[in-house]
Amino acid sequence: MMNDQDISSDKLSLKVNALLIIDIQEKIIRPIFDKDTIIKNIKKLINAYQILEENIFVSEQNPLKLGVTIPELRPIAGFRKFEKMEFSLAKIEEFLKELKDKKITNLMVCGIETHICIQQTVLDSLEKGFEVILISDAMGSRNRADHEIALQRMTQSGAFITTTESIIFELCKTADRKEFKEIRNIILS
């Protein structure tokens, strides 16, 4: 089984990355275990991705019934939103076409719920040949057991697991980068 150390910065730099923010919606977020930490970490990811000019995709599960993405987690610009009824974002042809057009190979995944929409998206994405990185402290479920078991199943299926801070520094690559000060401020906030 692979872990954080198996994902080298060189590996990330050779591929095109995208952040998937799965279903952080008004009615779904309320009962989520440790939701404040998840929201804080996703906010850090969005800010870092926008500074580093990486791809961001947002999904919303049945937004007419479950509401839209919570305001504090709507990226400012340069992102694509997909509304869906399928639990798996990777079943949406328009989404897959966008990944192909942008030559995206690495999917960094966060959001809710780990054991439903995230797990189905991840398993389908792995099957389609994407490298998937689970940002474990930026995703959750209503109860901790569902979250933990889903993480195990996805890693056993080939996904990598990491944390918010680890992936942000990995994408930044060096303290010499002009954006590093901004990135450091995001991490320390």
Q: Tokens 């959001």 belong to which residue? A: 111
Name the active-site residue from 117, 124, 137, 172: 117
Residue 7 corresponds to which amino acid? I
Residue pair 54/123 in contact (Cβ under 8 Å)? The answer is no
Verify whether residue 23 is a known catalytic residue: yes
Of 171, 168, 141, 165, the C-alpha closest to 153 is: 141
Q: Rg of the Cα trace of the chain?
A: 15
Verify whether residue 117 is a known catalytic residue: yes
Q: From CA 155, how far away is CA 22, in angstroms rounded? A: 18
What distance, in Å, lies between the first and last C-alpha atoms of the chain? 33
Name the active-site residue from 4, 6, 10, 23: 23
Name the active-site residue from 44, 84, 110, 172: 84
Query: How do strand 16-22 and strand 104-112 relate by DSSP bridges?
Result: parallel
Verify whether residue 172 is a known catalytic residue: no
Contacts of 94 (CB under 8 A, 6+ apart): 82
Q: Is the peptide bond prior to 113 cis by the omega test (within 30 degrees of 0)?
A: yes
Active-site residue set:
23, 84, 117
